[in-house]
Structure 1
Amino acid sequence: MIAFALEELASGSDARRRGLVRHLCLRWPETPALSVVFAMTSAAAMLEDNIRRNADASNAAPLAYRLAAILAADIYAVESMGQKPATAQDLLHFWRRVDSYFLDI
């Protein structure tokens, strides 16, 4: 999952970067939701470590951190509704019913 996140963030494609959260959840629906946050945060940290080699990565890492923070808020919302521990599939359901941000981005 981390390798996939890193590949998407390093792709240079804004569409692939913005769609990363959705694609991770669609690809790994049974995984714990916090694993998606961890994968994104880890990939962003790896990009930061390599910024000097790839100037485009300087834009991707902050975006990944921001999306991971928003995702963590969604996980908190899902778990506050009683779905503990939340899975990626639970997030997809939440986005379809409550907040479509990650489906629309």
Structure 2
Amino acid sequence: MSGIFGRLRKTWGKKTAERSEEGQPATRRPEKARHNLFEAAAAYVSACAEDDQERLEEAAAWVSPEALSFGVNELACRAVIALARERDESPQTVARTLLGLPAA
């Protein structure tokens, strides 16, 4: 998961740098549809898993960095819980296995 958060920081670092001389945000093209933070998180994480930088940056632009971070965290929690139930293991065991960490 550190890869996802590293990409999140990198993507939003570029967004922060895109400011005019007056300190105003750079203009962006109008969005066709509004996305909620969970849609953004799902699109962001799936793009990251598929190593699709274009989709990753698009999803990151849908919501604020804070909202995206919350959504990614919520998605991670739900995924670990679902896998733990499926495997009949504890969430801690599943999380450590996914990250390649030794058993606690």
**More helix per residue:** 1
Pick the TM interval, shorter chain. Answer: 0.3 to 0.5
Instruction: Using structure 1 for the length normalisation, give the TM-score.
Output: 0.33
